[in-house]
Structure 1
Amino acid sequence: MNNYQAIFEPLTVKRMTLKNRVVMPPMGTNFANMDGTFSMQHISYYEQRAKGGTGLITLENVCIDYPMGTNGARQLRMDNDQYISGLWHFNEKMHAYGACTSVQINHAGASAYGLRLEGEQPVSASNIPSKKGNPIPRPLTEEEIYGIVERYADGALRAQRAGFDCVEIHAGHSYLLSQFLSPLYNKRTDKFGGSPENRARLTKLVVEAVRKAVGPFFPISLRFSADELLEGGNSLEDTIEILSYFAEEVDILNVSAALNDSLQYQIDKMNLADGWRAYMSKAVKERFPDKVTVTSGNIRSPKRATEILEAGDADLLAMGRGLIAEPNWVNKVANGQEDLLRKCISCNIGCADHRIAKARPMRCTVNPDLHYEDDYKMKPILHPTKMVVIGGGTTGLEAAATAAEVGVSVELFEQKEYLGGLGHEIARFPDKKRIDDFITYEINRCKELDNLAIHLNRAATLKDIEAIGPDIIVNATGAKPLLPPINGLKEQLDNPNRKIFSIFDILDDMSKFQEFEGKEVVVIGGGAVGLDVVEYYAERGAKKVSIVEMQGEIGKDLDLITKLAMMEIVEKFDVEVHVETKLTEVRESSFLVEKDGEMIELPFDLGFVCLGMRAEAPMIRELDQYARSNGAVLLNMGDSKVARRIMEGTREARDILKTIEVLENTRTQKMLFEQTKSLQVTQTI
């Protein structure tokens, strides 16, 4: 903690005093009940972050004008007084742990959730959709605008009455106020459009109405997109000018970035540096030195967090996905447990793609339980139990550590000299290096457990398993590249002077793949792995990069953010894309492909075949036979079950607790039965 003292400095904003500089920003969850109230899991999710030491918990954006202002099927509401009691209960829970609270009030405008509008056309500044493909909204009338201003004031007053310490107005990220502020959306010719002052008018009215509602001593925060990062949108300099029209009554300037069509910079893509937005908050701070500023953007490291604060680039640090992954971030840093921080890897799969693209409840790749965190550790096993884990990838490590933490004696076998499996191998790509943060955490976690033994450079054998006599066997042997029987493929991969490679060739020794200039590269397979190779070569100056995909689009199964980032690379570096194109033959220096019945030859200096992965479970039949013969439980999980992503394997691994629970209950029942039987015999005698 001494090295990071700046993080733990208190900060007072009007009548709110924060115990440290860490803020949980508002992030949608899809945890709310359908009627806009809290579910029990919803409260528990926030409670973990308050318990973990977070200074300010900002409740996800809440609807103040239903249904026209809502942005999700499971969004919290506060458009009338019936919601105050639930919000009060939330605040009691957070305050009990010493956290201050804020709530983000918001009107979605053109980003309104269509199923809730019941046929009504969404509203906005103009008739410009909030993102490509969204419904066309209608422009608000002046009377409607003033009515919405009143809804903001009503919402802010309810926030104050419900016990919040602060209220945040959302003026960014393509929601209604942002739609008025941005020249990309606002094409009005009345007093609410045109000049920066006119585009700022609605937000100014909202800020003034909220201040009047809550009084002079209640903190008001404003979140905004400092740079919209789109051609024709507001730049950082434009936004700083716009802020001058309404910043006077605002206490906290929450500096974010981007709009819907630049979402990979709002929900930061994986390869953006820790705290990359700090230059934006610094510029805002220099223009408004008397205001408290908040920055965000992939802040994971306490060292980088401290640098931002000590440099004066911001006063507060918003860690959104970082606190989803690691609710105990503050306490672990304070207690000197930096090596046990479960850092977000910015994959954006469970938090963003699940919620935004798939309308599912939020999940996390590296944190398999967002609601109850470490509660399972309070229920250690009563009966001695042994477990063998075969495979030291992310799934195997999570299963081993989880079981050991409740008292199971665990032995893990990994045939390679390192842990982490495919995750560690993919992390060798410079733009994917954050994945190793999770693996480092898992390894450090395992080192803490005396009842967990790890055997490297050792493939498990049936003799090993027989010698241990496990009650539970976990097979987590991962996946291997899919190499179908395509004419010439095997021959070229076996060629000692080959120019054709699989994904593992490049990952096994990247030093052999460091020549970029003048190279023509062709990648077969437009999924995640193929696009990783495209990204690697395109960003490093290859002369020409092409990608071939059988389906109608590349990146079909990617998460929303990664796909946007990859499409940006494809466009920026003029990657040649061939979709609905089939590989028919592999030659020494070219691929022969078929599209629309026409054969096309694609020459290359380097060719990569990245056609996905297939499950690899070489011992599964032997293990099944052993388990059946010896009364053991066999679990095949992660990629060795079905080749997928880290998230599915992590969740399956945490579910080892269910297997342990069933085993415990069976043994307890058997023990009780034996005791009852013995008692009956004694009584008979």
Structure 2
Amino acid sequence: MSDLSDVRAPAAAQAPLLSKLFSPIDVNGLRLENRTMMSSIHLNLEEFDDQFERMARFYALRAEEGVGIIVTSGCSPDGPGQFALHGFSLKADDEIAPHRLITQAVHAKGGRIALQIIHFGREAVHGNLVSSSPLKLASSIFKPREMSHEEILALVDDYADCAARAIAAGYDAIELIFSQGFLVHQFLASGTNLRTDSWGGDFANRSRLAVLIAQRVRERVGPDYPVIYRIPCMDLFEGGMTADEALELIGLLKPYGIDLLSVSIGWHDSHTPTIAMVAPRAAFASATRLVRKRYPDLKLCVSNRINDPRVAENLLIDGEADMVAMARPFLADAALVSKARRNAFDEINPCIACNQNCLDYVFAGQPVGCSVNPEAVLPGEGHYPPLAQPLHVAVVGGGIAGMGAALFLARRGARVDLFEESHALGGQLKLAMQVPDKSEFHGTVRYYTQALYEAGVQVHLGTRFGAERLADGRYQHVVLASGCLPRKPDAIPGADAPHVLQYTDVLEKGCPVAYPVAIIGGGGVACDVAKFLVKRRTEQRDAAHAYLRAYNSDGSLAQYLDADTTPAAEVTMLQRSSRKFAMRLGRTTRWIQMGQMERLNIGMRNKLELLSIEPDGVRILDKRTKQEELVPARTVVLAAGHVPRTELVDALAAAGVPYSVIGAADTEGDVSRATNLSSAMGQAYQLAMAL
């Protein structure tokens, strides 16, 4: 049995190391016990009759774990402003009572909660869309109509009425969001506001709606009620607000009391990724610095791609902000704050910014969840009902599905043995960690490894689970999470040649490759291998050059630098089908993957017949041109799918031992989806809770 030496024992009680993060702050008389903000996440619970009860449970759990202040999902002040037909709203007095379910639940746990008031404008999905101008969102099937002068004035009143109802409902503060491409932002930006009346044209006119809302809301709530603003300070959008306009807007709003300014970054259709894994942590803190420089008296909240409380502490220490906003990290781990308070950083389940179950689900109209925390937003989140009777379970496979099943079963009281043939846990995630821009997976494997240790799971590394272990009848159930093997396309002549490698040889074993390289496959794994091969070659060369240049002050090394004629990494992907490359990636991340491939000059060819693998390339028939050609390649990498490992199924059936098959080993499901982190974790959780 492994001693799990790669994880730490639970942290002993001690003073928080993050002293700045855990210092109190006052926001217009509202005392917050620490400087963490759970910023708004749209949960997509509208389809449920008990959406308010579910939201109350969701927020109360985070409040109990010590979040400084929670900001709700975006709440509309009128009908057209709702995200969906029956979207979250507070547009009438009879909606106050259900909102009190939320505030009372949060207050019962000692928390603070703000209502975010939002009008989605053209970002809504119900069809009755309005905006500053009749410009359709690129990703929407609905075209908005232009709001009339009278409708705009009525909306200003609706905002003020909604703010008054928020107070009656018990909210501790409100947040006015003027960013992220929603309605007010659509008025502010010249690219989405083409009006020629008093609501369009120069910035004074384009900002009129925002200023009037601020003025009218402050009149209704009074000077002593906390009003938070979410202001666009770095648009990253053609036709968006400039930095000077953002700073001017803040100045226009200041007379109406900005009690806390939450600095916002980007639009949903920005061409610069802002919340995906490719964006470095705290990549956009410079926007907060810019605001601080102009308005040193304002309380500022920094946001975007902050998933580690230690990063948050550094931003506060450096004086770049007074609070730190995190949204999706509280999907990944409801107890993020309480764990950080007791310095248990290894116990935090970090958000990996994959967007799979959060942002992708928002746009798909599905209730939001989390890839790394399959119980997020579910009614039973955080509760593990004890098993009806003692159960000894063997989990075969230490990939993410096996780790998840072992953990959740142990939390229900099962005695669990986890068997992994290799000498490390993580399965496919171990390979993903090697890919550029996917280092966040380290945190997922680290968290689940630590959690297994704490739950008392017996982990057996370097241990094969064979049929002989079933003989003594010790296990009442076996979870087969044995994963998959790379598929070998035997039908291609030459596939056994020595210069042909599997993608696992490249990512896991680090096998050297000779360029140019041809990759057979067009899915997400093939794309990752392509990026890995290009960046490994260029990063190694660039690192060597940078090192020598640092010591080349006298020019003596110039000849050596000039002598490096290493060719560029030539990589071409070959796909038999005509479908899009990486087609299974979500809509919020596929465009990023494709953009990276283009910038790295990776060749992508599809609709091919692969005729043979030859010593100097891959012979193909292009089905479009009907032409045969040789794609040059000194190395060929196979990334053409997976084959589930189910060799134990017959032995389990013969022994009469109850068993379940999950993850990539699940032959009943789509293997390509089962190797997906979100699907694997979801299967693991559902199995454990249903057993």
**SS of the residue 1:652 aligns to:** helix
- The aligned amino acid for 1:598 is Q
Is the Cα contact below 8 Å between 1:31 and 1:74 reproduced in 2?
no
Question: For residue 470 of structure 2, what is the amino acid of its counterpart?
Answer: I
1:655 is displaced (CA, Å) by: 2.6
Contact kept in structure 1, 2:394 and 2:479, CA below 8 Å: yes
Instruction: Please tell me whether residue 156 in structure 1 is matched to residue 183 in structure 2.
Output: no
Instruction: Give the Cα separation in 1 of the matches to 2:156 and 2:309.
Output: 40
Shift of 1:330: 0.8
1:474 aligns with 2:479: yes
Q: Is the 8 A contact 1:109 1:124 kept in 2?
A: yes
Aligned ranges for residues 270-281 of structure 1 at < 5 Å?
Answer: 270-281=277-288
Q: Supply the distance in 2 between the matched residues of 1:34 and 1:653 (Cα, whole angstroms).
A: 24
Q: Distance in 2 between matches of 1:369 and 1:264?
A: 31
Change (3 A) 1:169 1:329: same
The partner residue of 1:246 within 253, 256, 281 is 253
Secondary structure at the aligned position of 1:244 is classed as helix
Equivalences for residues 179-194 of structure 1 within 5 A: 179-194=186-201
More helix by share: 1
Instruction: Quote the Cα distance in structure 2 between the aligned partners of 1:520 and 1:195.
Output: 54
Aligned-pair distance for 1:600?
4.2
Q: For the residues of structure 1 that align with 2:602 and 2:159, how far apart are their CA atoms?
A: 46
AA paired with 2:510? M
CA change 1:185–1:539 in 2 (3 A) is farther
Distance of 2:196 and 2:603 partners within structure 1: 42
Partner Cα distance (2:483, 2:325) in 1 = 36
SS in 1 for 2:174: strand
Q: 1:219 to 1:305 in 2, by over 3 A?
A: same
**For 1:63-94, what per-residue CA distance to the aligned partner results, in whole angstroms no more than 9, with x for missing partners?**
2110x212225521111111100111210111
Shift in Å at residue 636 of structure 1?
Answer: 0.7
Instruction: Flag the 1:386–1:11 CA change in 2: closer, same or farther, 3 A.
Output: same
Instruction: Give the 3-state SS of the residue equivalent to 1:76 in structure 2.
Output: coil
**Contact residue 130 and residue 179 of structure 1 kept, 8 A:** no
Q: Which runs of structure 2 are paired with 1:541-560 in the superposition (5 Å)? A: 541=538, 542-549=568-575, 550-560=577-587
Q: Which residue of 2 aligns with 1:663?
A: none
TM-score, normalised relative to structure 2: 0.87
In the alignment, which residue of structure 2 is the partner of 1:601? Answer: 630
* Secondary structure in structure 2 of the residue aligned to 1:490: coil
Alpha-carbon spacing, 1:649–1:289, altered in 2? closer, same or farther (3 Å):
same
520, 523, 528: which one pairs with 1:524? Answer: 520
What's the offset of the Cα at 1:40? 2.8
Question: In 2, distance between residues paired with 1:582 and 1:70?
Answer: 49
1:679 equivalent in structure 2: none
Q: Indicate conservation of the 8 Å contact 2:435/2:531, yes or no.
A: no
Q: Name the residue aligned to 2:71.
A: 58
Distance 1:532 1:13, change over 3 A: same
**For residue 572 of structure 2, what is the amino acid of its counterpart?**
S
Q: Which amino acid aligns with 1:508?
A: E
- State the match for 1:590 in structure 2: 617
* CA displacement at 1:355 relative to structure 2: 2.3
For 1:11-410, what aligned pairs fall within 5 Å after superposition?
A: 11-33=25-47, 38-66=51-79, 68-73=80-85, 75-115=87-127, 117=128, 122-132=129-139, 134-249=141-256, 250-262=258-270, 265-266=273-274, 268-356=275-363, 358-370=364-376, 371=378, 375-377=382-384, 379-381=385-387, 383-410=389-416
Change (3 A) 1:79 1:49: same
| CA distances 1:13-41 after superposition (whole Å, capped 9, x unpaired) | 11311111111111111123467x73433
Displacement of 1:535: 3.1
* Aligned match of 1:421: 427
Q: d(CA) in 2 for partners of 1:223 and 1:296?
A: 10
Q: Distance in 2 between matches of 1:390 and 1:506?
A: 25
CA distance in 2, matches of 1:51, 1:563: 36
Deviations 1:135-189 (A, max 9, x none): 3323222222212212211111111211111111121111111111122212222
Is 1:30–1:74's contact at 8 Å kept on the other side of the alignment?
no
Is 1:270–1:345's contact at 8 Å kept on the other side of the alignment? yes
Is the Cα–Cα contact under 8 Å of residues 127 and 139 in structure 1 kept in the other structure?
Answer: yes
* Counterpart Cα distance in 1 of 2:412 and 2:638: 43
Q: Does structure 2 retain, via aligned residues, the 8 Å contact 1:294–1:315?
A: yes
Identity of aligned residues (%): 26
Normalised TM-score (structure 1): 0.88
Tell me how far apart the structure 1 counterparts of residues 571 and 19 of structure 2 sit (CA, whole Å). 48
Q: Which has the higher contact order (CA 8 A, sep 6+)?
A: 2
| Cα distance in 2 for residues equivalent to 1:582 and 1:255 | 51
Q: Distance in 2 between matches of 1:659 and 1:246?
A: 53
Q: Which segment drifts farther, 481-490 or 271-280?
A: 481-490
- Preserved contact between residue 74 and residue 117 of structure 2 (Cα < 8 Å): yes
Counterparts of 1:584 and 1:234 in 2: how far apart (Å)?
A: 53
Residue by residue over 1:318-369, the C-alpha shift from the partner in whole angstroms, topping out at 9 and shown as x without a partner, is 111100010001111112322111111111111111221x211111111121
Aligned residues: 636
- CA distances 1:410-445 after superposition (whole Å, capped 9, x unpaired): 111111011111112211213111112111111111
User: Is 1:38–1:86's contact at 8 Å kept on the other side of the alignment?
Assistant: no
What one-letter code is carried by the residue in structure 1 that aligns with 2:263? V
Whether the 8 Å contact between 1:30 and 1:73 is mirrored in structure 2 is no
Q: State the match for 1:669 in structure 2.
A: none
User: 1:264 offset after TM fit, Å?
Assistant: 6.5
Structure 1 pair 243/539, CA: closer, same or farther in 2 (3 Å)? farther
Question: What letter matches 1:48 in structure 2?
Answer: L
Looking at structure 1, the residues matched to 138 and 291 of structure 2 have their Cα atoms a distance apart, in angstroms, of 27
**Structure 1 range deviating more: 70-79 or 203-212:** 70-79
Per the TM alignment, residue 537 of structure 1 is displaced from its structure 2 partner at its CA by 4.3
Contact 2:436 2:531 in 1 (8 A): no
Q: Match for residue 648 of structure 1?
A: 679
- CA distance in structure 1 between the aligned counterparts of 2:188 and 2:608, rounded to whole angstroms: 44
In structure 1, what is the Cα distance between the partners aligned to 2:255 and 2:644? 59
2:493–2:611 CA contact under 8 A, matched in 1: no
Are 1:63 and 1:78, in contact at CA under 8 Å, matched by a contact in 2?
Answer: yes
Q: CA deviation at 1:3?
A: 1.3
Residue of 458, 461, 469 corresponding to 2:463 = 458
The question of whether the paired residues in 2 share the 8 Å contact of 1:300 and 1:322 is answered with: yes
In 1, distance between residues paired with 2:468 and 2:263? Answer: 59
| Alpha-carbon displacement from aligned partner over 1:616-647 (angstroms, at most 9, x marks no partner) | 22211111221x2xxx3211111100422122
Distance 1:151 1:404, change over 3 A: same
Structure 1 SS opposite 2:180? coil
SS of 2:193 mapped into structure 1? coil
The CA RMSD over aligned residues, in Å, is 2.3
Superposed displacement of residue 296, structure 1: 1.7
Whether the 8 Å CA contact 1:64–1:151 is kept in 2: the answer is: yes
Structure 1 regions of 5+ residues with no counterpart? 661-685
- The answer to whether structure 1 residue 10 and structure 2 residue 10 are counterparts is no
SS at 1:431 equivalent: coil
SS in 1 for 2:102: helix
Give the Cα separation in 2 of the matches to 1:5 and 1:362: 33
**Is there any run of 5+ residues in structure 2 with no aligned partner, and where?**
1-14, 539-567
SS at match of 2:315: helix
**3-state SS of paired residue (2:19):** helix
CA positional deviation for 1:407? 2.6
